[in-house]
Chain A
Amino acid sequence: MIRVDNVSKTVRSGSEELTILKGISMEIKAGQSVAIVGASGSGKSTLLGLLAGLDSPSSGYIHLQGEDVTAMTEDERAALRARAVGFVFQSFQLLPTLTALENVMLPLELSSAKGARERALELLEQVGLSARAGHYPRQLSGGEQQRVALARAFVVEPDILFADEPTGNLDAVNGGHIEELLFAMNQQRGTTLVLVTHEPHLAELCERRFEMRDGQLAEQH
């Protein structure tokens, strides 16, 4: 499903070169749930971005569903994301000028799928927000916004779901609710889940755990 071969990422900041990731390799099978933990600034988000094809590595290869992401253009990677990848972010990332329903419909519209409205309503129902479909993000609480984001992530039936600290901005109760939903929907659909988190108990819920340290990745057993 996901194969990472010796991936490094170097960025320039000013005149200095900063190597964030140093020769990372890993393999994730379809349907697995994986947690990536590590100190702040250790490079977790950078790795997640590479896995999802948001960015390309300085060296090494990444295969997603058997396709070499590193050989793709940005637009090809975008097409792949539209087809197979879902996202949940720490800061929710809903479009403020769209209603909850429209936010959920957005990825479907991007891949011009049919029946977007019905699908989106269905997903909102699943996250328990069908009553708030017409509300704008600013009218929703943080937890509700993240539930909308979850619905949006699952609406395209992604093969892989990436989540970067999905509960990071939420209190314990709301965070717990999101966790439950996340794992429930994941299991229901057999989605591969890659999760970056600071919360040990969230990591515990995953089948496999990796720790990022100084740009290197080690699996915890």
Chain B
Amino acid sequence: MLQLRRLLREIRGGELLLLAVSLVLAVASVAGIAGFAERLKLAMGERSLYFLAADQVLVSPSPLPPEWLEKAENSGISVAKTVSFRTMVYGSAADPADEKMLLVALRAVSDRYPLLGTVQFSDTVYGNAQESAGGPPRGEIWLDSRAFAMLGIAPGAEVEVGEARLLASRVLVDEPDRSSSINVYGPRALMHSGDVASTGVVQPGSVVDYRYLFAGDTAQLDSFAGWLEPKMLPSHRWRTLTDNQPALAQSLDRAESYMLLAACLAVALASAAIALSAHRYGQQNIDRVALMKSLGASRRYILSFYARQGAVLLGLAVLMGGLIAEALQGLLFQSIAQLLNVEVPAGSWRPLLTGAITAGVCLLCFAAPPLWRLSRVSPMRVLRRDQEQDNAGLAMPLLLGGGAMFGLMLWFSNSVALSVAVMLSSVVLLLLAAALVLLCIRGARSLSTRMAGSRQRLAISNIYRRRYGNAFQLGSIALALMSLLSVFLLREMLLKDWQSQLAEGTPNYFLINIAESELAELDGFFSENGVAHAGIFPMVRGRLSHIDGVPMADTDIDANTAGLNREVNLSWSAELPSDNRLLAGKWWSNTAHTSTDSDRLPVSVESEVAERMGAELGTRLQFNIGGQTLDAEVTSIRGLDWQSMRPNFYFLFPANSLGRYASSYITSFYLPAEQRPLLVEVMSAHPTITLIEVDAILAQMKEVVSQLSAAISLIVLLLLVCALLVCVSNVQLSLDTRRQEYALLRTLGAGNRFLRATLFLEFAFLGGLAGLVAAVGANLCLVALQIWALDMAPRVHLWSFLFTPLASAVLVTVLAAGYGRRLLRTPAVALLRGR
């Protein structure tokens, strides 16, 4: 009871306040960020399920064995099936001469389709969309507006598909799982899967894509997937969000990396604050422990007293931190739920547990060493103040804590690279700061003895005398500022990056399947209507068949996950596309290449796909293009930006080198909504060209990005508080050490103005130096992260080299002025007596 009261008083009185706040912050930032990341993932997962129209989707080139589906249904999972193929649709007209035919991408869907989300349809061509819980009933077919237009019929007409006559009852606007990839060609249509047999279109050997949709609770699905796993053929594969939305996946990936980095930094900063404030608390308690011992307290009593103190403090911190984390998440998810139009799943206890464990470990590692030393204080101190001044440094907690911090980062970032990067740069920074400080101080001192006034000389000699303590303090302030600066700069970069990709004018339509003969006309159309396009690229479709002479089937590369199981788009270009980055190898010189059977063509491969298929510079690849083989050798590796919404290619060949294969062209362009009618014009003039809309994806990405921006801004704020805390603890600790000295100076006749000036000069110097180190560190750290972790182009922020030292000097001086006020006001006697 007395203990709790004492604890609360110490928090209120300020002695434990910083430690308490540091702990709360450690819990809040870790639990908040981890919780946010977790729930965002859940929410986005949920959202992506709408894009799958199910919880899980299995893709297969042939029907699945019925036992599999029975097994699924028996275990309580809902199952739906879609069968996609391309076929001709014949419109019926009064005059058979007017009858038109059209190649459509047809999907036949079973009764339960879609398991999640709705099908959007309209009653009129290009009309307003309505929602339907299911697809067309038997005997009906829903065609999209373009199909109606191109067949020259209206809803209500009959069409023929193979041998079946179906009623074209409605206009298909959108299916939830409509693929956004470039694999879907031509106008689309939706019918019932029960009618497939009667059309007679699907024959053995037809190219058909079977999708099986499953929905159920996670446990059921997991056990079903586990049951299925050993039975699955190489041609079966699970669809994921990444499959059809590489751009969104990349945004989320970056945001996640960012958050984990921020969480790591927050832990590092909170740890530093905990270490500093625990150290200070230990110092303040030396006399009290001596007194308690003289009154008969045993060492065990002291240890358990402070251990209980720590436990209660931790408990309070977990409670407070948990509440703050919850509030932060509530704030963020309130709007995210509206934007994403999903129920944000409730968070689990895990993030709070993570936060609690983090804070606990930090407290243990950073507070245990001072506590241990505290328990060894000699009770003789009650008689002789000067007894064994406890000046054991922060080395022990630093080592212990550094190890613990690394473990924690590893634990919840699950990324060795990130943890090592943060840890290593912190250590390097600390050492750098220490070295720099010692050097600067030495230099300044020799300078000051010659020229500066007595005030400056005193300030500098003060800094010099405490140089080791100062080096550490400066290092930790620099670390705090560096973390803050990095996170801030990274935020700016991410935002800019996202925004530039989602800026007005980001291509929202793709045209593919453009024939060479149509190029001129299309170009004319673009320039006539002032439509900006991303360039028209040639492309040849081919399948990767061999890697280094080994057939794909015999390699241990999972072609499904590598995205190489189907035909890929090959293109050629003389120049490196402007938004591509050369990561390895050389781009070809401008000499034209022509393919002969004897030599190998150079090929430039996208970095991720290269990694997935284990290709390096010099790897030999063989492609099968419409039955012909093409030999190539990897001569360069490129980085791509999937968010640019421009045509991108996994494989690029030198200009004109694929001339002998049948090729088509692809482009993407931006068309504002009001210019949409132009599309009908182009599309009816060129019915074989395929149009793909990515408006929906863009809109979704915009939502997500604005949400993520809010989230990372909040995180920057959190780090700001952490960094401030480190600075405050630091300043307080160093003011403590000045007590005696100031008292002495005061008794020797130093006036208040003199002391204040000394204090300010000292802290301004330290602050400025810390800022400089921080700017160097942050820029180094950023460049490293941009290159290795975030996959962005590196950039140095020059302004930070001027701004940070200034801001830091001001901040530290202001803090010192604030906290030093009391010190400057206290009379000398009281200072000397230590009260």
Contacts and interface: CB of A to CB of B under 8 A. Distances in A.
A107 B10 contact: no
A98 interface: yes
Given A45-B384, A48-B383, A78-B298, A97 B9 contact: yes
A138 B385 CA distance: 20
Contacts of A141: none
A64 to B, nearest CB: 13
B295 to A, nearest CB: 5
Given A81-B295, A164-B383, A93 B2 contact: no
A152 B292 CA distance: 12
Contacts of B6: 95, 97-98, 102
Contacts of B300: 75
B292 A106 contact: yes
A49 B380 contact: yes
B372 to A, nearest CB: 15
A80 B296 CA distance: 7
A19 interface: no
A82 B297 contact: yes
A74 interface: yes
Given A97-B10, A105-B2, A110 B382 contact: no
B526 interface: no
Interface string A95-119: 1111000100111011100000000
A168 to B, nearest CB: 12
Given A97-B15, A102-B2, A75 B9 contact: no
A79 interface: yes
Nearest to B297: A110
Interface residues of A, number: 34
Contacts of A79: 296, 298
A106 B295 CA distance: 8
Given A78-B293, A97-B6, A55 B833 contact: no
A52 B292 CA distance: 14
B238 interface: no
Contacts of B378: 54-55
B125 to A, nearest CB: 80
A93 B291 contact: yes
A107 B288 CA distance: 13
Interface of B: 2, 5-6, 9-10, 13, 15, 287-288, 291-301, 378-380, 382-385, 833, 835
A85 B10 CA distance: 28
Interface string A147-169: 00000100000000000100000
B292 to A, nearest CB: 7
A82 to B, nearest CB: 2
Contact of B291 (A49, A75, A95, A102): A95
A206 B271 CA distance: 56
A78 B380 contact: no
Q: Which 4 A-B pairs have the closest CB atoms?
A: A82-B296, A75-B298, A81-B296, A54-B379
Given A55-B378, A107-B295, 4 more contacts: A49-B380, A78-B297, A95-B6, A97-B9
Given A105-B2, A109-B2, A110-B292, A93 B382 contact: yes
B295 A75 contact: no
Interface string A69-92: 000001100111111010101010
A98 to B, nearest CB: 6
Nearest to B284: A96
B526 to A, nearest CB: 78
A82 B295 contact: yes
A93 B296 CA distance: 15
Nearest to A91: B833
10 contacts: A49-B384, A54-B380, A55-B380, A80-B296, A82-B297, A87-B382, A97-B10, A107-B295, A109-B2, A152-B295
A193 B385 CA distance: 23
A109 B835 CA distance: 25
A74 B299 contact: yes
Nearest to B301: A110
Nearest to B381: A54
Contact of A49 (B13, B301, B383): B383
B295 A87 contact: yes
Contacts of A75: 298-300
Interface of chain B: mostly helix, strand, loop or mixed: helix
A212 B383 CA distance: 16
Contacts of A74: 298-299
Contacts of B287: 93
A111 B294 contact: no
Contacts of A48: 383
A54 B378 CA distance: 7
B293 A97 contact: no
Contacts of B9: 97
Contact of A54 (B292, B382, B835): B382
- Max chain A C-beta neighbours (<10 A), residue from B5, B10, B291: B291
A109 B6 CA distance: 13
Nearest to A52: B294
Contacts of B13: 96-97
B382 A89 contact: yes
Interface string A27-57: 0000000000000000001101100101100
Nearest to B288: A95
B381 to A, nearest CB: 9
A48 B293 CA distance: 15
B296 A107 contact: yes
A97 B294 CA distance: 18
A82 B295 CA distance: 6
Nearest to B5: A102
Nearest to A44: B383
B296 A54 contact: no
A81 B294 contact: yes
B734 to A, nearest CB: 22
A109 B5 CA distance: 14
A111 B296 contact: yes
Contacts of B299: 74-75, 78
A145 B379 CA distance: 20
Nearest to B293: A78
Contacts of B10: 97
- Max chain B C-beta neighbours (<10 A), residue from A45, A78, A98, A105: A78
A74 B291 CA distance: 14
A199 B380 CA distance: 23
Contacts of A164: 383
Given A93-B291, A97-B13, A83 B296 contact: yes
A45 B379 CA distance: 12
Nearest to B376: A74
Contacts of B292: 106, 110
B307 to A, nearest CB: 16
A204 to B, nearest CB: 23
Contacts of B385: 91
Contacts of A96: 13
A91 B380 CA distance: 14
Nearest to A74: B299
A152 B835 CA distance: 20
Given A54-B378, A54-B380, A87 B294 contact: yes
Contacts of A111: 296
A96 B13 CA distance: 10
Nearest to B295: A107
A119 B171 CA distance: 92
A67 to B, nearest CB: 15
Contacts of A138: 835
A22 B287 CA distance: 28
A97 B3 CA distance: 11
Nearest to B7: A97
Contacts of A95: 6, 288, 291
Contacts of A105: 2
- Max chain B C-beta neighbours (<10 A), residue from A48, A54, A89, A152: A54
